[in-house]
C-alpha cells in the first residue's frame, strides 16, 4: 500500500517564500517586457505564470515520494544531463551561444538541470563514502563529476553557470569533512590559474571581465549595461518609482532587463524596500535549506539540502552582485525572478526536494 503523506512537517514558509519572490518577479517581467498589441500568449509574464503553475505542481508531486529514492536516479540523471549538454552544442546559436534545445514552443536549457544532477551525484557519493576511509585516488571523483559538465557548459559559452558549480562542490566537500584550509587552498590554486583560463574565453567574455574593473573604459560598449543598471538601482531610492514607471526600464536603457538584469527593474520600480524584501526571502530559503541539512541524520539528505541551498544562494548573490557592479557580468539569472521556464522549473523542483527532505528525513 502507498504510504500516506504526512503534511504535518510541510514547511509552509519554505513554500510561500518562493511564491512571494515569484510574484514580485512576475510584475517586474511584465513591466520590462510588455508591448502594446501583444496577444495573451505573447506576453512573457503569462508564459512565466504558466511555468510557475507547472513548478507548483512539480513541488506537490515531489513531496509524495521519499527522497531516498533519488539516490537511485543520481548517476542516470547525471549521464543524461551530460548527453544534453553535448547535444546543445550542435543546436543553432541564439545571441551567440548554444544554450537551448527547442522542444515545441518551449526552450529547454540543459545547464539548469545539470546543476541538480551534479548535486544528486555528489550527494550520493558523499553519502556512500566516508572521508577518513577514502583512498587518495578516489577523492578525485567529486572533482571529475564537476569538471565534465563545467567544461561543457563553458563551451556553450555560459561562464556564470559553469562557475556556480565550484562553490556547490566546496560547500558539499566541507560538509563531508574536508578541512577549510584545504578548500581555501583549492580556491587559491583556482585563482592562480585565472591568467591561463582567461586566454580560453570568448572576446565578449574578456571584455565583460575587463569592464568590471572599470566600466567607464567602454561606456557605450561592454560597460554600457552595468552603467545603466547601476543608474536604475540608484534611482529607485527608498520606495521606487512605481510599477511600470521606471525610466531606465521603460525607455529601454537596460538590455536584457527581463532576464539577467531583472533586479535593476525591481530596484528602480520597487526601491530599496522591495529589494530588501527579496533579499530577506532568499535568505530565509537558504537558511532553511542549511537548517534542514544540519538537522538531517541521513547523509544523502543532508548533502542534498546543502547543495541545493548553496546553489540558490550563490546564484542569487552572483546575479544581484552582477547588476550592482560588484561582480563581472556572467549571465546568471535571478531564481524565480528572471524570465525563463527552465530556471523556474529547476528552482521549484529544488524547493520541492527541500520540502521532501524536511518531511521524510530521519532526525538525530
- The predicted structure's pLDDT at residue 2: 47
Between CA 193 and CA 184 the distance in angstroms is 14
149 near 165, Cβ under 8 Å? Answer: yes
What does the H/E/C string look like for 75-130? HHHHHHHHHHHHHHHHCCCECCECCCEEECCEEECHHHHHHHHHHHHHHHHHHHCC
- The predicted structure's pLDDT at residue 218: 67
Percentage of the chain beyond pLDDT 70 is 89
Higher pLDDT, 103 or 294: 294
- The predicted structure's pLDDT at residue 261: 93
Between CA 350 and CA 100 the distance in angstroms is 21
- Phi first, then psi: give them for residue 170, nearest 5 degrees: -65, -40
Among candidates 303, 298, 305, 257, which has minimal Cα distance to 44?
257
Cell of 11: 514547511
Q: Over 90: is that where the pLDDT of 31 sits?
A: yes
24 near 277, Cβ under 8 Å? Answer: yes
Reported as a pLDDT band with limits 50, 70 and 90, residue 275 is very high
Q: What percent of the chain is helix, strand and coil (3-state, nearest 5)?
A: 70, 5, 25
- The predicted structure's pLDDT at residue 256: 85
CB atoms within 10 A of CB 266: 30
Between CA 361 and CA 295 the distance in angstroms is 9
Between CA 247 and CA 283 the distance in angstroms is 29
Query: What 3-state DSSP class applies to 296?
Result: strand
Average pLDDT, the chain: 89
Between CA 337 and CA 325 the distance in angstroms is 19
DSSP 134-180: --GGGGGHHHHHHHHHHHHHHHTT-HHHHHHHHHHHHHHHHHHT--H
Higher pLDDT, 208 or 280: 280
Among candidates 61, 133, 126, which has minimal Cα distance to 356?
61
| 93-102, 188-197, 260-269, 297-306: least confident range | 188-197
Q: Over 50: is that where the pLDDT of 196 sits?
A: yes
Domain ranges of the chain: 7-360
- The predicted structure's pLDDT at residue 73: 94
Q: Is the pTM of this model over 0.85?
A: yes
Q: Over 70: is that where the pLDDT of 201 sits?
A: no
Mean pLDDT computed over 86-110: 81
DSSP 37: T
Amino acid at each position: 500500500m502507498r504510504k500516506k503523506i504526512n503534511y504535518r512537517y510541510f514547511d509552509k514558509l519554505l513554500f510561500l517564500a518562493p511564491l512571494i519572490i515569484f510574484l514580485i518577479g512576475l510584475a517586474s517581467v511584465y513591466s520590462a517586457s510588455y508591448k502594446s498589441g501583444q496577444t495573451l500568449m505573447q506576453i512573457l509574464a503569462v508564459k512565466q505564470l504558466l511555468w510557475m503553475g507547472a513548478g507548483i505542481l512539480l513541488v506537490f508531486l515531489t513531496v509524495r515520494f521519499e527522497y531516498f529514492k533519488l539516490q537511485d536516479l543520481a548517476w542516470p540523471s547525471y549521464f543524461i544531463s551530460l548527453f544534453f549538454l553535448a547535444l546543445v552544442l550542435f543546436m543553432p546559436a541564439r545571441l551567440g551561444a548554444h544554450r537551448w534545445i527547442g522542444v515545441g514552443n518551449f526552450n529547454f536549457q540543459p545547464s539548469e538541470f545539470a546543476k541538480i544532477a551534479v548535486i544528486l551525484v555528489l550527494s550520493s557519493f558523499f553519502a556512500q563514502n566516508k572521508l577518513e576511509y577514502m583512498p587518495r585516488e578516489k577523492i578525485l571523483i567529486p572533482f571529475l563529476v564537476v569538471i565534465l559538465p563545467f567544461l561543457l557548459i563553458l563551451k556553450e559559452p555560459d561562464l556564470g553557470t559553469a562557475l556556480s558549480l565550484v562553490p556547490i562542490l566546496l560547500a558539499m566537500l566541507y560538509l563531508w569533512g574536508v578541512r577549510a584550509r584545504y578548500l581555501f587552498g583549492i580556491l587559491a590554486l583556482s585563482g592562480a590559474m585565472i591568467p591561463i583560463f582567461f586566454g580560453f574565453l570568448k572576446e565578449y567574455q574578456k571584455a565583460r571581465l575587463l569592464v568590471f574593473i572599470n566600466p567607464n573604459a567602454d561606456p557605450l560598449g561592454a560597460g554600457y549595461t552595468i552603467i545603466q543598471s547601476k543608474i536604475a538601482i540608484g534611482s529607485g531610492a527608498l520606495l521606487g518609482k512605481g510599477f511600470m514607471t521606471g525610466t531606465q526600464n521603460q525607455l529601454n536603457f537596460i538590455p536584457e532587463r527581463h532576464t539577467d538584469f531583472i533586479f535593476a527593474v525591481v530596484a528602480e520600480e520597487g526601491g530599496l524596500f522591495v529589494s530588501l524584501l527579496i533579499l530577506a526571502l532568499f535568505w530565509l530559503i537558504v537558511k532553511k535549506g542549511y537548517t534542514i541539512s544540519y538537522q538531517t541524520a541521513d547523509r544523502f539528505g543532508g548533502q542534498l539540502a546543502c547543495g541545493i541551498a548553496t546553489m540558490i544562494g550563490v546564484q542569487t548573490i552572483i546575479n544581484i552582485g552582477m547588476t550592482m557592479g560588484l561582480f563581472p557580468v556572467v549571465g546568471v539569472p535571478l531564481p524565480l525572478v528572471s524570465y525563463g521556464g527552465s530556471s523556474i522549473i529547476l528552482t521549484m523542483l529544488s524547493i520541492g526536494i527541500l520540502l521532501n527532505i524536511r518531511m521524510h528525513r530521519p532526525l538525530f
